[in-house]
Structure 1
């Protein structure tokens, strides 16, 4: 087992998922990914050592909020990532109500993302 923090990345867009995964690996993190709710459920049931989840809610249906509740109940910190839209205020409110540590709006600011990751992994 690695002593590197394990980050789960969740995004329906496989290209974005791969870019984020490669970036995080270069930063020294261990990364697993899920691109749909079934994969997310499988990873959460099989992995008991996830340190942080980066969850892009774009393109998911309302069931994504149930998964956020599960993360909260399992005490796994998570960041919500979302595209900027006319619904961003509602997404931010829902994210925080469901236990998100923070919300990042795309396009991501790398320095902000890294600072949040480091902060959450220290807690």
Structure 2
């Protein structure tokens, strides 16, 4: 349940430790070990290691479609304005005098991923 609390809620490790009444080092170890197992099982299924030929094909597609040589993926971010979360202090406060979170996106040549 600790790993679910951490991954699903966005709580800090300290908050998860308090919530489940376990020590912070125990929480840290559970999260580290569970994340390692999740990566070992699902990593090869969903994040197959690209070959040299894959990288060359991707770069060629970016160059031919977008005239962007030697590019392998695109990344961008967007500030999404939100209502101030209760008891968050200045955590989400931005210089434009609003509260926001950052949405980060990574895409391949066809806007997928």
Both structures adopt the same fold (TM-score exceeding 0.5): no
TM-score (normalizing by structure 1): 0.22
The structure richer in strand per residue is: 1
CA radius of gyration, larger in: 2
TM-score (normalizing by structure 2): 0.24
